[in-house]
Structure 1
Amino acid sequence: MGKAGGRGDFEWMYNEQPHTWRRKEILAKYPQIKALMGPDPQLKWVVSGMVLTQILACYLVHDLSWKWVVFWAYAFGGCINHSLTLAIHDISHNVAFGNKQARWNRWFAMFANLPIGLPYSASFKKYHIDHHRYLGGDGLDVDIPTDLEGWFFCTPIRKVLWLFLQPFFYALRPLVVNPKPVTRLEMMNAGIQFAMDILLYYLWGLKPIVYLIAGSILCMGLHPISGHFIAEHYMFLKGHETYSYYGPLNLITFNVGYHMEHHDFPSIPGSKLPEVKRIAAEYYDSLPQHTSWIRVLWDFVFDDSIGPYARIKREYKLVKQE
């Protein structure tokens, strides 16, 4: 259990990310895929139902004992909150109201953020664009662990700890790797979120706040759903940096498992990504894919060749604007 992992550095690549050329090739062969781009009219109703469900749950837990508050936070509320973070991921690509209503998408993401307990949506949008544009970019893509994470979390026990602490690394890593000025939208996001937290505390006390925040942290850490964080871009096969998963957990995660398809076509809503795979099946069926997020977590912990260092990195030369 104390054996150190086998990797001592990231996998460095010196070519462009594969999603760029594959997108062009698929669109040239299947131009009908362009019709899938645009807003998902059902997304706003599904997300609104999830937010209202969590508000009702806040009322229901306020009289429970603490042990049951934590249990339901992990078993139920956290699952919804994790799903809401993936809805926010979709909304960050303007698929709730379309590109012409970008401001509506930003406000709606803040609404989806309310049950998560901590402000998240505006900061996520700011950095997620770089993840797509500069996939694996050194100092640009904050989805890549730091050297310190790769060096330290290299044994099974330490990797379990890293999985548990994943929400904190995702929150703090951007401040170290690629700090950006705080935006007006981020301040609005924080103001609206903390006003909601104060209202819940005033109505029903501390337990609903713990239920929401603990659920978010626990289910974005060591939890079967959080296997998608590892499954998406960790290098399980040499040279392959993005993987899809087509299993049943997509039903509660806005099809985030269709990650190869998502990076090829980020403007297509998650609900329509299975259609992309169906149309362009020959491009995806032969690529490596995951069949279980639980198996992904198991392999991450116990396979010495996989750990925080098992990521592909690139150097992007940015043209500075005068």
Structure 2
Amino acid sequence: MSLLHDQRLRTVRWRDLSRLTFTEKVIENGITLPWLIASLTLAWFHLYLLAAPCSFLFFLTGLRVVHNGFHHTLGVSKTATWFTLFLNSMLMMTAMHAVKYNHLRHHKYCLQEEDVEGNCARMKPLVAVLYGPIFIYRLHAVALRDGGKAIRQGIRIELAAMVLFALAAFFFRLRFLEYHILAMLTGELFSGFFAVWTVHHDCDEHVFARTLSPRWKNFFTYNMFYHLEHHLFPGVPTIKLPELSTRIREKLPDLQVKEVF
């Protein structure tokens, strides 16, 4: 029996966790800014080796922001969420409305044939890494083919903005932006492996996603690997996932989990 059908899940309190305080909204919406500023500043001074880890952390926290945006859990309006996805499309060099379309289908058809995003979870790790460019292409192609009018329009706007951003950076020889664009494109090529394979590989119908139990590991990974908890209650913002995890374990003390690492 799938974990989703465990009746004890109905007793887990989660709706109060969907509400964010002003401070929590600031954190969830601005968590990328320190790393973006640090990476661009270091790149401005041609300190690319020092900029690289900051770029990585910007990419990681960027995934957190857009992921919350996909589920409208940033605590802001739908219009503000749209602009958040638009801005991060340029900054992260991927049309986030394309990712959103496939991610919501991933929740609906998790690890089934219709789950385009989750496809690489069934691959061997090296194959999942090499699959990266195809993964990104398929997310865009499928969303442009099957998405509704608003989704397709959003994707086209984001792709146009990304192209203009890149053309301006390389035409005017803005080295720090050239570095940033190349760093983000590199991150996107590995996103299928790190964002999907790591949290879904070797899962089954009962435990369909992995999680990360130690709090200290989650602290250093910005709570991005409470993935089982997220699939069970996608309406809970990332900042509240540690508390959600505690509540789930209290109601399901015999819960069998697979660790991310």
TM-score (norm 1): 0.65
| Bigger Rg, structure 1 or 2 | 1
**SS class of match (1:287):** coil
Alignment counterpart, residue 232 of structure 1, candidates 179, 192, 199:
199
Equivalent of 1:26 in 9, 33, 50: 9
Alignment of 1:210-289 (within 5 A): 210-218=179-187, 221=190, 227=194, 229-235=196-202, 240-247=207-214, 248-281=216-249, 282-283=251-252, 286-289=255-258
* Aligned counterparts, 1:17-166, within 5 A: 18-19=3-4, 21-22=5-6, 25-27=8-10, 29-30=11-12, 32-39=13-20, 41=22, 42-48=24-30, 50-51=32-33, 53-55=35-37, 57-64=39-46, 69=48, 71-72=49-50, 74-97=52-75, 101-116=77-92, 118-138=93-113, 140-145=114-119, 159-160=125-126, 162-166=127-131
5+ residue gaps, structure 1, are 1-14, 293-322
Deviation at 1:175, TM superposition (A): 5.8
Q: Which runs of 5+ in 2 are unaligned?
A: none
Aligned residues of 2:69 and 2:81 also touching (Cα < 8 A): yes
| Alignment counterpart, residue 191 of structure 1, candidates 160, 166, 170 | 160
> In the aligned structure 2, how far is the partner of 1:192 from the partner of 1:52?
23
In the TM superposition, residue 96 of structure 1 has moved relative to its aligned partner by: 1.1
* 1:145 aligned counterpart, secondary structure: helix
User: What is the CA distance between 1:59 and its match in structure 2?
Assistant: 4.1
Q: Distance in 2 between matches of 1:190 and 1:108?
A: 15
Q: CA deviation at 1:201?
A: 4.5
TM-score by length of 2: 0.78
Q: 1:291 to 1:173 in 2, by over 3 A?
A: closer
SS at match of 2:146: coil
Percent of residue pairs identical: 13
Q: Which amino acid aligns with 1:26?
A: L
User: 1:37·1:268 contact (CA, 8 Å) conserved in 2?
Assistant: yes
Whether the 8 Å CA contact 1:167–1:221 is kept in 2: the answer is yes
Q: Which runs of 4+ in 1 moved over 6 A?
A: none
Quickly say closer, same or farther: Cα 1:44–1:198, change in 2 above 3 A.
farther
Contact 1:243 1:288 in 2 (8 A): yes
Q: 2:32 aligns to what SS in structure 1?
A: helix
1:35 maps to a residue whose letter is: D
Q: Is the 8 A contact 1:51 1:115 kept in 2?
A: no
Greater CA drift, 106-115 or 255-264: 106-115
What CA distance in whole angstroms lies between the structure 1 residues aligned with 2:155 and 2:75?
20
Aligned-CA RMSD value: 3.5
Check the 8 A contact 2:128/2:197 in 1, yes or no: no
SS in 1 for 2:119: coil
Deviation at 1:254, TM superposition (A): 4.1
Does structure 2 retain, via aligned residues, the 8 Å contact 1:62–1:204?
no
* 2-structure distance, mates of 1:238, 1:126: 23
Once the two structures are superposed, what CA deviation does each residue of 1:40-87 show, in whole Å capped at 9, x if it has no partner?
Answer: 6424445435246424532431442xxx53x34643312321321232
SS at match of 1:141: coil
The residue that corresponds to 1:180 in the other structure is 146
Quote the offset at 1:169 in angstroms: 3.3
Note the C-alpha offset of 1:172: 2.1
The residue type equivalent to 1:142 in the other structure is V
